[in-house]
Amino acid sequence: MLIGGINTFSMIDYPDKTSCIVFTVSCNLRCPFCHNPEFVLPEKIQEIKNDLIPQKVFLNFLEKRKGLLQGVSICGGEPTLQKDLFDFCEKIKEMGFLIKLDTNGQDPKILNELIKNKLIDYIAMDIKYPFYKYNEMLGVKNLNIESYKKSINIIINSNINYEFRTTVIKGFHSIEIFEDTVKEIKGANNFFIQNYQSGKTLDNDFTGKSFTNKELQDLQKIAYKYINNVGIRN
């Protein structure tokens, strides 16, 4: 596993669980608003290659957290690009921890295998825009949109806890674009609207802004037309 960083304790990343967060490196997308460019851009990854955390070091850390942590959140980057993800999850599960996987949904086959082999307990999948905007807005051309649709179907029909989530950015997510985004996951159980926060971004010239609380609540009302449970993370 190529581990770029670890957050040793979180009470919010894994819903209702105490967890640590593992940040894997590499991603198939180039979202201009991404806050983790050091884990995405090859030239940035090259700069931190000597600081990558060996898997053994992380597992030793986890061994000492038995009884203190309930779960491990694996995010990135995009974790499903890691060749030894299955082995990594198996080792964590053998230690008695729950696993939450954060993904953009780029590889439905891997998601299906992880679920089938009971290697993950919670999935959080990002729905960034309606799929007709993906090739325009995510910095990569010729994405296989059907793969993302298959991932949604696999997650919704799985027997594990899950959430879909969209980071909404003022100036980029109009009411129409937001509603079309939510339609992509119509019938899902859980959806979270995440308000964009300014900070470092993959594109240094990115100019997105946050929504107001009132505007977020208006978006929530729209989402409720399609989703059973809709939360706001401001």
Mean pLDDT of the chain: 96
Residues 33, 202 contacting (CB under 8 angstroms): yes
Please give the tally of structural domains in the chain. Answer: 1
Rounded average pLDDT over 189-198: 96
Q: What is the pTM of this model?
A: 0.96
Q: What is the CATH number of the domain that holds 42?
A: 3.20.20.70
Residue 184, pLDDT score? 98
How much is the pLDDT for 97? 98
Domain span at residue 8 reads 3-233
Residue 75: band (very low, low, confident or very high) from pLDDT cuts 50, 70, 90: very high
Percent of the chain at pLDDT > 90 equals: 98
Q: With bands split at pLDDT 50, 70 and 90, how would you rate the model's confidence at 71?
A: very high
The pLDDT score that the predictor gives to residue 123 is: 98
pLDDT at 93: 98
Q: Tokens 């309606």 — which residue?
A: 130
